[in-house]
Amino acid sequence: MRKVLMALLLLPLMATAQTVTSPNGNVEVKFSLDNGRPTYEMTYKGKAVVKPSHLGLELVKTKHASKGMEETDLMDGFTVTDTQTSTFDETWKPVWGQTATIRNHYNEMAVTLNQPASKRNIVIRFRVYDDGMGLRYEFPQQNELNYFVIKEEHTQFAMAGDHTAWWIPGDYDTQEYETVESKLSEIRGLMKDAITPNSSQTPFSPTGVQTALQMKTADGLYINIHEAACVNYATMHLNLDDKAMVFESWLTPDAQGTKGYIQTPFNTPWRTVLVSDDARDMLSSNLILNLNEPCALDDVSWIRPIKYCGVWWELIVGRNTWSYTNEYPSVRLGVTDYKNSKPNGTHGANNENVKKYIDFAAANGLDEVLVEGWNEGWEDWAGHSKFDVFDFVTPYPDFDIKMLNDYAHSKGVKLMMHHETSSSVMNYERWMDKAYKLMNQYGYDAVKSGYVGDIIPRGEHHYSQTMNNHYLHAVKEAAKHHIMVNAHEATRPTGLCRTYPNLVGNESARGTEYEAFGGSRPDHTVVLPFTRLQGGPMDYTPGIFETKLDTWSSNPSYVHTTLVGQLALYLVMYSPLQMAADLPEHYEKYMDAFQFIKDVAVDWDDSKYIEAEPGDYITVARKAKGTDNWFVGGKCDENGHKAVVKLDFLDKGRKYECTIYADAKDADYETNPKAYAITKKTVKKGDTLKITEARGGGFAVSLMAK
Amino acid sequence: MRKVLMALLLLPLMATAQTVTSPNGNVEVKFSLDNGRPTYEMTYKGKAVVKPSHLGLELVKTKHASKGMEETDLMDGFTVTDTQTSTFDETWKPVWGQTATIRNHYNEMAVTLNQPASKRNIVIRFRVYDDGMGLRYEFPQQNELNYFVIKEEHTQFAMAGDHTAWWIPGDYDTQEYETVESKLSEIRGLMKDAITPNSSQTPFSPTGVQTALQMKTADGLYINIHEAACVNYATMHLNLDDKAMVFESWLTPDAQGTKGYIQTPFNTPWRTVLVSDDARDMLSSNLILNLNEPCALDDVSWIRPIKYCGVWWELIVGRNTWSYTNEYPSVRLGVTDYKNSKPNGTHGANNENVKKYIDFAAANGLDEVLVEGWNEGWEDWAGHSKFDVFDFVTPYPDFDIKMLNDYAHSKGVKLMMHHETSSSVMNYERWMDKAYKLMNQYGYDAVKSGYVGDIIPRGEHHYSQTMNNHYLHAVKEAAKHHIMVNAHEATRPTGLCRTYPNLVGNESARGTEYEAFGGSRPDHTVVLPFTRLQGGPMDYTPGIFETKLDTWSSNPSYVHTTLVGQLALYLVMYSPLQMAADLPEHYEKYMDAFQFIKDVAVDWDDSKYIEAEPGDYITVARKAKGTDNWFVGGKCDENGHKAVVKLDFLDKGRKYECTIYADAKDADYETNPKAYAITKKTVKKGDTLKITEARGGGFAVSLMAK
């Protein structure tokens, strides 16, 4: 009887819905309690984007429950005790980025909920932008909620239809899958084939997918679900109820299957939904960066965009090796006598070869030279769950670390450090400080780190709370040493580069290396900007000119773009860190095309997305930082594309020297990838460029202000 | 048909048994193949100690098996390809110990086994001493055996009868149980009650027990099973088949349930069986130390035995606190503003209190003062699986680290550092180098570390391979900083202090703190020397004079010995690190008795076990290092004991000033614990001391050469 009475008393509160709209009114988010369960819905220009969806967290019941009491979920039984709304409008300057300034303009609603049964209060905060919204859970410090353990977060995203989605399989350990384009209802049937082999992988559900998830509705809305500011929290996946078309958050577990250890006060990452009826808005959105905290570093003078080449592609392709010797069945750091071992003759990171790259970088204005395989341990680094796999400080006998750095510096070039951890994370943390100090000693200012294989601590996953904390720990410690970080195989970014701009790059998706492992589909790079790049830049390592690998190695793979398509990636795949990944001797055969890589900027005052359709094509124009020069790039899928670029972004009354790097008429990524045409002309604001992109091709344009 | 033929062909080899005997012939170990399964047995003076028992390792089948092939167990299918025997006799000097020199004298047999199915070779090595034997598995580096993952080690110890055993429950996370004395057949029935609560505990089997396991046979043989040199390997438990009376090794698993990642060449720890018909030989055995590698440190000049007091017992008893403030529901390092928080008024590690201990140490010849609770984070350090729980470098506002160290040093005393990790091991490793450097900066030379609560990385156990590697990592890194380590709650020692003599102590058993948590039985300290102390010294922290805690605190517990029984522990519980654990003001009431703690040595040129029976009594005489002085101690259980000490170890013709600290006639650990009598006389070689030990009592004697 008392229960019924309680329900009746709560009825008025449950019925109350609170609404917040975006500054221009296009996006509206409504919050309500559904029988005590937090619920939200979202519309765009009146159309349903997220239908009424529940929010809440399920807690581990028995763990750390004091006094033997069972833990109470933060799922239902709530009443609204307070609602605060506010408006925020600020323009900030990123240390590096696609634009010189970024406007952060939103309307906010913070709903305070009380759960009488547990005497606990939580806050659900919504920030509503013209191009989407973010929501997060906040747990103030309070006597009844100091520590808790998450069993699962149950944030729902109820879709209004069977949308088209560009998805990759949900997985706790890899993001290196090809994107599948399908209806939501088709995910289950396509999942098995979508899960291709990887050195560490843990798929978890036949309808589990990763974020950022790009969708398109039947009536032309583009919807993108991701997260922002994932700090001290597990990475979110989405699991689809493919009858109701409801996505629900699915966090990455730790070795015990639990999903997060929380101490209050604490805020979860933002759960973000981008929406627009124009695909270009997906690419130009700054919503995720805006939902991250401002820069946490006092001094950012040492952070700089980087164009680099390096000893990498020849290793990936298999012509040379990371390892130094084949003499031993296995090696041990500090025990194996490398100096007296027989070199295998294929070690890539040798003095002579590295000097060749340094010379090439110096001659062509590249900032740095990455050298992989410089340090002891590569003979048996992968697949053995080897704890003491690398020490990050001991060079191979044929890599003279002092001489090579001195040589590079004498030519105005820096070496880029490489820390492959083999996912032996406890070992990396033991060596991290010494490794960063070594970098300082020899003048390295950037490190490419790697997390190939299963994680140690064993049972942990690449995207668990502990590992996410590790990646950020590495970035913060690096900042103390004025070191930039480019972490491969780490968790997918969520805009943390705003707060820690020394995180200049991540991989976290299928990079160019897969072109040497059988290839990626031509549409890959016109999907990634909609998905992977939402959270931050990717070190995609483009620039492969000799796309048929069997012309210079025994690798039968080929790159699934034209040569010009590779040039386009320097613009389409935004990153402050861009590699010219091919071998110097390959570039030297096509120096007219390489001129574009020399010219193109890696930091921008402005960016204009001109054309875009997920999986089909992207065309973007960018204004080089601190100059009046523009660069335009277009990339397309296997169907080709006819790009139309109206030059209305140029300065009025000014002339520009325009160099167009286009696919030749008969170019084709499969049959004729290296056919290109370079044309020059003078253009002005209002002119239009019409450029045909070949199958798997693209184009690149430089516009130098006269 | 082929199978039968193979079996027939192998028959001659299977039948071959190889035997190795101890130098004096008392111990004999026989190896044979039982249908391809390695098998050993062991006798003492012709009596069965270990009946025929199988040896072997079961491997994880699917993990890291290359090319999809299933892994082959290293259990059977073996043939003997080589047998090598040899003799070793060497005398070495420990850096500290019970004797000035240690003789390492054994006969060895190494049997090389080939497993034709896998083309793998392993070696089983036996070292047979007059007081027992050790065996280990060795895996040479070979093409067919480079890496493997252990599912379980199946080393059997088949007992010849239903022996009496002194056992504690097998557990992956705690050793802090009271010993149960029972027949082997009674273990199962007694297990449930034996598992008392602990802050982290994972019992695994109703017949699983820990080593060192002390047993006694019906015909008077003492048998002890343990391990030596546990390096890069999980700690072994013993699981009893209580029908066949066969113990089998049961390793501690990692978070995924696997038990060891091995890279060859590799040797397992030694599996040891001590045996004698004299219980005293169990205590004087050096077999486990001898099976460890020689000292690995070039410079040991900085390692020294230590007598210390400190801010500890008052915290354990509950009169003061480790924490500084009660103001916050929880705290965060680097965020919580301790300086402006309200002190709780009970913080023990405050300047004034620490100076009191320093003064006491200086006045009484104690070397160091331990201070627990000196650093930020104690407000919510336990039970929350808190990753960033301590930083090991930030003192509380009322602990002036520089002033206090300077003050101590000015009086010839050092402070002892305290690193409670709360088992957040990844966090400790992040801070370890900075923490050791801080110690160097302020002149600390020893650290007590602690591992209370469940391990982070979560799912790992206190005694897993990864954690064992961590403890040794901490010791090795400490050595680089000339720091001695005394690790509490770490894995039970296996003689590694021979190789790393800066590992001056461990807890790894139920220490004196339990006397404040309800108490330990009086026989506890006449069991531990037979069990826990086999692998190395224990920081038992004796010396509690005010045994009834309610006389000075609100703690209702009492110490289950007499005051004199506490004095006896400085001899019976050998350790190069001895605490005078009670409060200075308590000692000041009994300075005549405290004189023994002042006088007693902590390092020895010789030790003579005079009387011993597990769980009943131990009497030992020790000669102080570099002197002609002897100290004798006797401890007994709840039944009292009449000790007879024949002084035949004294120098002939020399006189000794003998001070006897004995229980008073009416002393009793429960009713009259502080009644003692101190008598002095002059003695000479050949004299006999007859001393009555009270219930739960003991005695202590100093013999100063005139």
> In this predicted model, what pLDDT tens digit does every residue of B15-60 receive, in sequence order?
478 999 999 999 999 999 999 999 999 999 999 999 999 999 999 9
Mean pLDDT of A440-454: 98
Q: Which tops the pLDDT comparison, B296 or A14?
A: B296
Collect all residues with Cβ–Cβ distance below 8 Å to A531 and sequence separation of at least 6: A166, A168, A179, A212, A213, A214, A224, A509
Chain B: closest CA distance from residue A549 (Å)? 26
Q: Do B254 and A64 touch (CB under 8 A)?
A: no
> In this predicted model, what pLDDT tens digit does every residue of B124-164 receive, in sequence order?
999 999 999 999 999 999 999 999 999 999 999 999 999 99
pTM, two decimal places: 0.96
Question: Given the DSSP bridges, would you call strands A147-153 and A57-59 parallel, antiparallel or unpaired?
Answer: antiparallel
Mean pLDDT of B453-461: 97
Per-residue model confidence (pLDDT) at position A6: 42
* Residues of B carrying an active site annotation: 513
Partners of residue A385 in chain B, C-beta under 8 Å: 64, 147, 149, 261
Residues of chain B with a CB closer than 8 angstroms to some CB in chain A: 64, 66, 141-143, 146-147, 149, 254-256, 258, 261, 263-264, 328-330, 332, 380, 383-387, 426, 429-430, 433, 456-460, 466, 469, 473
Using CB atoms, which residue from B256, B330, B430 is nearest to A458?
B256
Per-residue confidence band for A70, with pLDDT thresholds at 50, 70 and 90? confident
Report the alpha-carbon distance of residue A260 to residue A407 in Å, rounded. 48
A50 token code pair: 């997220």
Per-residue model confidence (pLDDT) at position A68: 59
Question: Given the DSSP bridges, would you call strands A414-420 and B306-311 parallel, antiparallel or unpaired?
Answer: unpaired
Q: Do B255 and A458 touch (CB under 8 A)?
A: yes
Q: Do A261 and B387 touch (CB under 8 A)?
A: yes
Is the pLDDT at A15 greater than 90, yes or no?
Answer: no
For an interface test with B, the pick among A63, A263, A427 (most B C-beta atoms closer than 10 Å) comes out as A263
* Closest C-alpha among B64, B459, B423 to residue B253: B459
The one catalytic residue in A513, A515, A546, A611 is A513
Chain B: closest CA distance from residue A429 (Å)? 6
Per-residue confidence band for B361, with pLDDT thresholds at 50, 70 and 90? very high
Mean pLDDT of A618-628: 98
> In this predicted model, what pLDDT tens digit does every residue of A170-225 receive, in sequence order?
999 999 999 999 999 999 999 999 999 999 999 999 999 999 999 999 999 999 99
For an interface test with B, the pick among A326, A384, A429 (most B C-beta atoms closer than 10 Å) comes out as A384
* Closest C-alpha among A395, A397, A437, A442 to residue A416: A442
Partners of residue A458 in chain B, C-beta under 8 Å: 254-256, 258, 261, 466
Q: Do A384 and B458 touch (CB under 8 A)?
A: no
Question: pLDDT above 90 covers what percent of chain B?
Answer: 96
Mean pLDDT of B425-435: 98
Q: Do A430 and B473 touch (CB under 8 A)?
A: yes
CB B695 within 8 A of CB B640: yes
Report the alpha-carbon distance of residue A170 to residue A175 in Å, rounded. 8
Q: Do B64 and A383 touch (CB under 8 A)?
A: yes
Residue of B nearest to A148 (CA): B384
* Closest C-alpha among A285, A217, A257 to residue A45: A217
> In this predicted model, what pLDDT tens digit does every residue of B224-276 receive, in sequence order?
999 999 999 999 999 999 999 999 999 999 999 999 999 999 999 999 999 99
Collect all residues with Cβ–Cβ distance below 8 Å to A601 and sequence separation of at least 6: A622, A624, A625, A627, A629, A631
Collect all residues with Cβ–Cβ distance below 8 Å to A606 and sequence separation of at least 6: A98, A99, A100, A622, A623, A649
> In this predicted model, what pLDDT tens digit does every residue of A568-594 receive, in sequence order?
999 999 999 999 999 999 999 999 999
Chain A: closest CA distance from residue B262 (Å)? 9
Per-residue model confidence (pLDDT) at position A3: 42
Residue of A nearest to B455 (CA): A457
Is the pLDDT at B464 greater than 60, yes or no?
Answer: yes
B255 token code pair: 């978070």
* Closest C-alpha among B643, B560, B544 to residue B597: B544
Is the pLDDT at A67 greater than 70, yes or no?
Answer: no
Q: Is A657 exposed, middle or buried (0-12, 13-18, 19+ CB in 10 A)?
A: middle
Using CB atoms, which residue from B147, B261, B329 is nearest to A330?
B147
Report the alpha-carbon distance of residue A95 to residue A294 in Å, rounded. 11
Q: Do A429 and B433 touch (CB under 8 A)?
A: no
Rounded to the nearest angstrom, the gap between the alpha carbon of residue A109 and the centroid of all alpha carbons in its chain is 28
If DSSP codes are grouped into helix, strand and coil, which group holds residue A93? coil
Look up the ipTM and state it: 0.94
Backbone φ and ψ of B280, nearest 5°: -65, -30
Q: What is the 3 state secondary structure string of A468-527?
A: HHHHHHHHHHHHHCCCEEEEECCCCCCCCCCCCCCEEEECCCCCHHHHHCCCCCHHHHHC
* Exposure b/e, B536-555, CB count within 10 A at least 16 = b: bbbbbbbbbbbbebeeebeb
Using CB atoms, which residue from B383, B384, B466 is nearest to A263?
B384
> In this predicted model, what pLDDT tens digit does every residue of B474-507 receive, in sequence order?
999 999 999 999 999 999 999 999 999 999 999 9
Using CB atoms, which residue from B255, B328, B332 is nearest to A459?
B255
Chain B: closest CA distance from residue A235 (Å)? 18
Is the pLDDT at B11 greater than 50, yes or no?
Answer: no
Per-residue model confidence (pLDDT) at position B1: 35
CB B546 within 8 A of CB B586: yes
Mean pLDDT of A682-692: 98
For an interface test with A, the pick among B263, B328, B428 (most A C-beta atoms closer than 10 Å) comes out as B263
Task: Report helix, strand and coil shares of chain A as percent, to nearest 5.
Answer: 20, 35, 45
Q: Do B429 and A433 touch (CB under 8 A)?
A: no
Chain B: closest CA distance from residue A426 (Å)? 7
Report the alpha-carbon distance of residue B45 to residue B500 in Å, rounded. 35
Q: Do A263 and B330 touch (CB under 8 A)?
A: yes
Report the alpha-carbon distance of residue A445 to residue A392 in Å, rounded. 15
Q: Do A255 and B256 touch (CB under 8 A)?
A: yes
Residues of chain A with a CB closer than 8 angstroms to some CB in chain B: 64, 66, 141-143, 146-147, 149, 254-256, 258, 261, 263-264, 328-330, 332, 380, 383-387, 426, 429-430, 433, 456-460, 466, 469, 473
A66 token code pair: 């004091």
Residue of B nearest to A428 (CA): B430
Q: Do A385 and B143 touch (CB under 8 A)?
A: no
Chain B: closest CA distance from residue A256 (Å)? 6
Mean pLDDT of A590-615: 98
Which residues, in sequence order, are bridge partners of residue B677?
A: B662
Using CB atoms, which residue from B328, B385, B429 is nearest to A429?
B429
Question: pLDDT above 70 covers what percent of chain A?
Answer: 97
Chain A: closest CA distance from residue B554 (Å)? 22
Backbone φ and ψ of A55, nearest 5°: -125, 150
> In this predicted model, what pLDDT tens digit does every residue of B531-562 receive, in sequence order?
999 999 999 999 999 999 999 999 999 999 99
Per-residue model confidence (pLDDT) at position B14: 46
Per-residue model confidence (pLDDT) at position A62: 72
Q: Do B64 and A429 touch (CB under 8 A)?
A: no
For an interface test with B, the pick among A426, A455, A472 (most B C-beta atoms closer than 10 Å) comes out as A426
Report the alpha-carbon distance of residue B597 to residue B357 in Å, rounded. 16
Using CB atoms, which residue from A258, A264, A429 is nearest to B430?
A429
Partners of residue A468 in chain B, C-beta under 8 Å: none
Using CB atoms, which residue from A143, A258, A387 is nearest to B329?
A143
Per-residue model confidence (pLDDT) at position B64: 46
In chain A, domain spans: 11-290
Per-residue confidence band for B7, with pLDDT thresholds at 50, 70 and 90? very low
Partners of residue A389 in chain B, C-beta under 8 Å: none
Question: Given the DSSP bridges, would you call strands B47-54 and B37-44 parallel, antiparallel or unpaired?
Answer: antiparallel
> In this predicted model, what pLDDT tens digit does every residue of A82-128 receive, in sequence order?
999 999 999 999 999 999 999 999 999 999 999 999 999 999 999 99
Size of interface A-B (CB pairs under 8 A): 110
B453 token code pair: 């609560």
Partners of residue A335 in chain B, C-beta under 8 Å: none
Per-residue confidence band for A63, with pLDDT thresholds at 50, 70 and 90? low
Kindly tell me the number of DSSP H helices and DSSP E strands found in chain A.
12, 36
Per-residue model confidence (pLDDT) at position B70: 80
The maximal CA–CA distance of chain A, rounded, in angstroms, is 86
Per-residue model confidence (pLDDT) at position B614: 98
Domain made up of A11-290: CATH architecture: Distorted Sandwich (2.70)
A200 token code pair: 């560490």
* Closest C-alpha among B706, B701, B704, B689 to residue B596: B701
Mean pLDDT of chain A: 96
Kindly tell me the number of DSSP H helices and DSSP E strands found in chain B.
12, 36
Q: Do B256 and A261 touch (CB under 8 A)?
A: no
